[in-house]
Structure formats: C-alpha cells, structure tokens
Copies of this chain bind each other. A is one copy, B any other.
C-alpha cells in the first residue's frame, strides 16, 4: 500500500541501502514547468546538516526518468529516483536479534517474516521520505495559488529550540518537537465528506511520515477545554472570512477559505546515544544495547519540509477530485 491518492497518485519505493529510492507521480496535469533544479530547495531543507542533525550531505538531486519533456510535464507518470551512495551496511543482523526499542526492527521482522532488508532500516528508513518531498515539489505546483509553510515551533518541550538542542546534545540524548503547518490562501471547498474529508486526507498522508505521533487542526486538543461560544468562528464578510480561526480553516471536513492551520508532534529520535536495557530475542534474555553511528539529535528539525510535502500531495489530490466532480470553480 505504498501509494496514495484518488486522481493525483504517488507511489514511493526504495530502501535505505538499496540501489535507489524514488517515487512515481501519476495523474499530474500536463504542461507544468518542471526542472531538476526545482527540487533543490526542498530537498536541501530535508537534508539539513545544521546543528542537531546528521552531518550535511548533498541534497540527492533527482534523476527524472519519465513524464517530463522539454522541461514540462507531459501527463504521463513522472518518475524520480536518486541513487543511494555512502551506504555502509553495519551488522544489521544484530537488529534482528536485538530489535532497537522505538524502531521498526521488531515489527518489520514479524510483518515480513524475516525477509525485510534491514540495512539502514530498509524501507522504513526516513530516507524514503525523499520521494515524498520530491512529490511535494510537483504537488505544490498544482496547489500553486496557496502558500504552504511548515516550521518547528518547539523542541524538547521548549520554544527556545537552540537551548533545547544544547541540553540534548550535552546529555547525549534525543528530543522531539512540534511542527506547525499553515496554508495561506487555500482554496475554499476542498474535502469530500464523509470519508475523504480534508482532515482525513491530510492526516492519512502525515502519518505516513516516520516519527509523527499526533496531529491537531486549529485549536486542536485545546478545544476540549473551550466553550462552544468561544470556539465557534463567526463569519465577518461575504468571502466567508472568520473573526477567529479555531477550526483551523476547516468546517465539516471542508476548507472554508480561511488559513489552514495544523500541528504535528514528532517523537524524539529513537536512536539515542544512551544505553538501553532491552530484550535479546536470540539469546532469550535482557541485554544492554548501545546504538552506534551518528544520528539526529532532533529529527524534527528536518521534518517541516516533509510535512509541507504531505500536505501539498493531499491538497493536490483533493483539488483534482473536486475539479473532476464540480468543474473549475470561480476563485
């Protein structure tokens, strides 16, 4: 089930240490301008390299295998890949014996009956999100009238992100964070109730991103403590603009034209530098595990661009579905 979308469909593939990773993008309208350079900025943001992330590497620019001709999309499926390099496969069999706590090692072993490629976490690696970010670049062109922007608003429980990083690095541990995504100038009327509501589509995509454990729209969990009279967003003009935005721009599963706002929580990177007491499945007893290698102190630093991509892909599909049923709407 490595595909998403009704009309605008993406399919991710690849493993961390396999020959290549990539994505097929189907249902993309023809005539959109698309060049390799278009992917640079977003792929770079995903790579990061800043403090709290793994050392900087190149942004893995895509090779366009299909669907683009003379720098324009053709209407045929767009395939983007990038080769894996610098892969040093350590003794991944160790993770079969002592699956890392918080990782997919244990479940992938059960799910795939021991046949998964576990090198570098294989298909479960965060590296696979490369294709999602690449698809996001295309999706953003479909949702071009909107501005989709996500950023890390807290880390380790603190809005002072630099300080939180300092502490985590000092203690050789990892921290999570909260990312907020805002879509300015969104189309009104996106979302298909009951089962492809705007929130359903967004959350479906968002929970495909490794390490995300929660999402809330508008006032979100805070709404539980609000009165209806305070939570309701009264309309103030004929465009449907509201005085407040506790709904995060969505009523009844459909965008109302106001800014879309949602937040997601990223759990702390499970590969911490500290010792962990866990089970050795081979020896049948508890053991101490120390995960080697250099890892992200705060993987959440690299996730905003992935959140944007997930949102863009969901929006692009909803835009095309809506246009299919209702025709081109007047702006």
Contact = CB atoms under 8 A, between A and B. Distances in A.
Contacts of A233: 101-102
Nearest to A324: B324
A281 B238 contact: yes
Contact of A207 (B111, B200, B278): B200
A145 interface: no
A234 B275 CA distance: 11
A211 to B, nearest CB: 9
Contacts of A225: 156-158, 176
Contact of A18 (B66, B197, B281): B66
Instruction: Please tell me the size bucket of the interface on A.
Output: 35 or more
A227 B74 contact: no
Interface stretch (A21-29, A38-46, A48-56): A21-29
A88 interface: no
Contacts of A232: 100-102, 270, 272, 276
Interface string A165-193: 00010010111111000000000110111
A81 B66 CA distance: 11
- Copies, count: 4
A193 B219 contact: no
A143 interface: no
B238 A79 contact: no
Contacts of A219: 213, 267
A122 B29 contact: no
A104 B252 CA distance: 5
A20 interface: yes
A11 interface: yes
A325 B320 contact: yes
Interface string A239-251: 0101000111001
Interface in A210-224: 210, 212-221, 223-224
Interface in A276-331: 276-279, 281, 284, 286, 300, 320-328
B110 A193 contact: no
A76 B122 contact: yes
A108 interface: yes
A54 to B, nearest CB: 15
Contacts of A117: 69, 74, 76
A141 interface: no
Nearest to A9: B3
A195 B3 contact: yes
Contacts of A269: 228
Contact of A13 (B66, B112, B253, B279): B66
14 contacts: A3-B3, A3-B26, A15-B76, A18-B66, A75-B113, A76-B122, A101-B234, A107-B256, A128-B194, A168-B227, A200-B205, A229-B274, A232-B272, A236-B278
Given A74-B115, A320-B324, 12 more contacts: A14-B79, A19-B65, A24-B24, A107-B191, A124-B252, A157-B226, A195-B204, A214-B220, A238-B279, A238-B284, A246-B267, A247-B267
